[in-house]
Amino acid sequence: MENTLELTVSEEFNLERIDKFLIIAAETDFSRSYLQKLIKNGHITVNGNSTKQNYKVKTDDIVLITFPVMEKLDLEPENLPLNILFQDSDIAVIHKQPGLVVHPGAGNYSHTLVNALLFHIKDLSGIGGVERPGIVHRLDKDTEGLMIIAKNDNAHQKLVEMFTNRELTKEYHALVTGRPSSPEFKIEKSISRHPKFRYKMTINENGKYALTTGKIVQQWNSGDSVYSLLKLRIFTGRTHQIRVHLSSEGMPIIGDPIYSRKPERHGVKFLLLAATHLSFNHPVSGKNLDFSIDLPEHFNSFIKKIERNSSNED
């Protein structure tokens, strides 16, 4: 059975090449070569008509992707860098690098976290299915940070229950434009899929409840812009929760291709969001485990750049 994805081009993507638009707007893990192959084979149409790879989309264009039936993936272990912070017979905790796709999918059958896990960790749970062994939760491709991996089905099931019951402490750091209204703040806004732009989420009082709290770590005035480094905690796990919540408060994350305007102007390779702290009770032994990582290097590089042209307000 074929699956389809329909996207309406918003004004911010007007006159963008169609392959670049799809990579950013669909916010999927498709490679450009895979999308170009779909265009060549007639699986992507614009306003009902076939298109070309160099077509520049226009505001309100309707882009329809019809995905061919995926073959069952024969996943290969790959010796990719994998920073394992902890492991025993039940779980592993890893530090995922930015730019790494978590699991294989259309257009990305290799070079994913799952391929690395299959090489470095021999025992993985199967609850997530053949394409997602060991994967209990995920981070976006460009988000760096801490993840828990399940090594057997018993641990996997208990971890799912813990996530569902919000029994884990998850903290993030984000570097944003703008500043919160107070040093410590709470964002309590429900989130749902955007009714028109299906690749993004939006604030909707009829959506799913979402709660994020945060505090200012440091601020800078740089030229005509204000930047804030925030420490955040999420109490719910909605898709894009931090990104949507911060953007809704006028504080988009730097480099966010979906929820900030002209993300390329800051010249960062990855959006400046990282999962930096994770605390939970071991799903089998019950022992408390606590993990933290330093601020990522791509954060520090951007901070050095703005500090050269700013007055510090910490």
Catalytic residue positions?
140
**In a 10 Å sphere around its CB, with 0-12 CB exposed, 13-18 middle and 19+ buried, how is residue 122 labelled?**
exposed
CA 44 to chain centre: 25
CA dist 232 and 292 (Å) reads: 14
Dihedral sign computed on CA atoms, order 164, 169, 174, 179: positive
Q: Give yes or no for a contact between 8 and 25, defined as CB atoms under 8 angstroms apart.
A: no
Nearest to 156 by CA among 135, 140, 170, 173: 135
CA dist 116 and 121 (Å) reads: 8
Let me know the angle formed at the C-alpha of 300 by 141 and 246, rounded to the nearest 5 degrees: 55
Give the type of residue at 188.
Answer: E
Residue 213: its H or E element: strand 211-222
Give the type of residue at 161.
Answer: E
End-to-end CA distance of the chain: 55
